[in-house]
Copies of this chain bind each other. A is one copy, B any other.
Amino acid sequence: MTESITINCIPMKSITILALILLSLTLVAQPPRPPAISSPEVNADKSITFNYYNRNAQRVYVSGEFLKSPVAMKRDTSGVWSVTVPPVTPDIYPYSFWVDSVQIADPNNTYIFANERFKRSIADVPGDKPLIHSLQNVPHGKITYAYYNSTTLGTTRQLLVYTPPGFEANGKKKYPVLYLIHGGSDTEETWTKVGRANLIADNLIAQGKATPMIIVMPYGNVRPKPMPDFTKDVINDIIPFIESNYPVIKESKGRAVAGFSVGGGQTLNIGLTNTDKFAYVCSYAPFTATEEFKNNFSDWKPNTTTMNKQLKLFTISVGTEDFLYESVKQNIAMFQEKNIKVEPFIVSGGHTWMNCKLFLATSLQQLFK
């Protein structure tokens, strides 16, 4: 009797948990879904604990842009591998696990580095005070995913449009537009998912440090089409799409172009061959070993006076540990030799999205002023 009462009294919560375990076991084929574990866990002292479940792996490492080299994780008797890495500077860092021969994103972390080639996760280490990319209690803009027809590329493509807080689609106000391009194997989502461009803009606008603007994040890869086709896509398809669908300033003083890595090279190609269209050109750690860059700039003889008048801002940013640092310095020197007013912005750090956020946060305070 006592036993039967006990059985009848299993609290509903336990039944729910049992049901959820059953659901877990059934939803994914074989082997069964691993237990729910939390990873990464950022501790109060800014150390980070990583957890990963695998009963059969021989070796598991965590590799991340806060580490000089991968760190071995230790397995407990239940098959959960863990390690705590020493405190790191607050920022957002890409990381991955190496499980024997395989590099993987952290299965328990929803935040993935938007990329076409690798699968990495994002660890968000908050500051004691909110960082410039943190979600803060300020008015928020919106990100819109829209399709446009690219006559250049003969296809329908997706782009992202950040509209600032208080944006009115049919209001009287005309906004300036920043065209913001991702890196080589990134996607149109990388500037928001990894670069937090929307939150950086929200915060700088709330602080009165940035002019409210629209930020257009296109998809910059045109493989196997040649690179110049992306320049055409921006000029002939994307700008007309934006200007016929959003209330924007349709003059060069209301247009900026910026980009990182391969996108930094595209920025130079797009911006400097169209200074009648873009008054602001911000190139971040540009990768310029392309045929398009050579064609555009090896025998380049611009009308310097005109160009320096047209360009209200031309910056090239790079970190001193960036593997492209020497190449970027040479490009800065090349533009200076041609008497183009370029403002170098040299910081520490490598070819990273931590630096990207810094570069963008810096540019947003300079644009359209």
Contact = CB atoms under 8 A, between A and B. Distances in A.
Contacts of A140: 146-147, 156
Contact of A102 (B100, B110, B116, B147): B100
A196 interface: no
Contacts of A169: 168-170
Assembly stoichiometry (copies): 2
Contacts of A57: 100-102
Chain A interface size, under 10 / 10 to 19 / 20 to 34 / 35 or more: 35 or more
A99 interface: yes
Nearest to A28: B118
Interface string A96-129: 0001111111011010101111110000000000
For the residues of A in contact with B, the DSSP-based class is loop
A37 B35 CA distance: 33
Nearest to A322: B26
A107 B135 contact: no
A323 interface: yes
B170 A156 contact: no
Interface in A265-312: 287, 289-291, 294
Interface string A174-199: 00000000001001000010000000
Contact of A33 (B117, B119, B135): B117
Nearest to A29: B63
B156 A137 contact: yes
A260 to B, nearest CB: 12
Contact of A110 (B26, B99, B116, B351): B116
A145 interface: yes
Which of A16, A55, A99, A168 gathers most chain B CB within 10 Å? A16
Contact of A145 (B19, B69, B105, B142): B142
B137 A146 contact: no
Contacts of A16: 289-291
Contacts of A104: 102, 104, 119
A102 B112 CA distance: 18
A9 interface: no
A365 interface: no
A153 interface: no
Contacts of A323: 26-27
23 contacts: A12-B291, A19-B290, A20-B289, A27-B323, A29-B69, A54-B101, A99-B101, A103-B107, A107-B118, A108-B116, A108-B117, A110-B187, A112-B112, A119-B119, A137-B156, A140-B156, A142-B145, A142-B146, A144-B144, A145-B192, A168-B169, A168-B170, A169-B169
Given A20-B184, A144-B145, A169-B169, 12 more contacts: A19-B290, A28-B118, A29-B69, A29-B70, A57-B102, A100-B100, A105-B105, A107-B118, A135-B156, A140-B147, A142-B144, A168-B169
Interface of A: 12-13, 15-16, 19-20, 23, 26-30, 33, 36, 54-57, 63, 69-70, 99-105, 107-108, 110, 112, 114-119, 135, 137, 140, 142-147, 156, 168-170, 184, 187, 192, 287, 289-291, 294, 323, 351
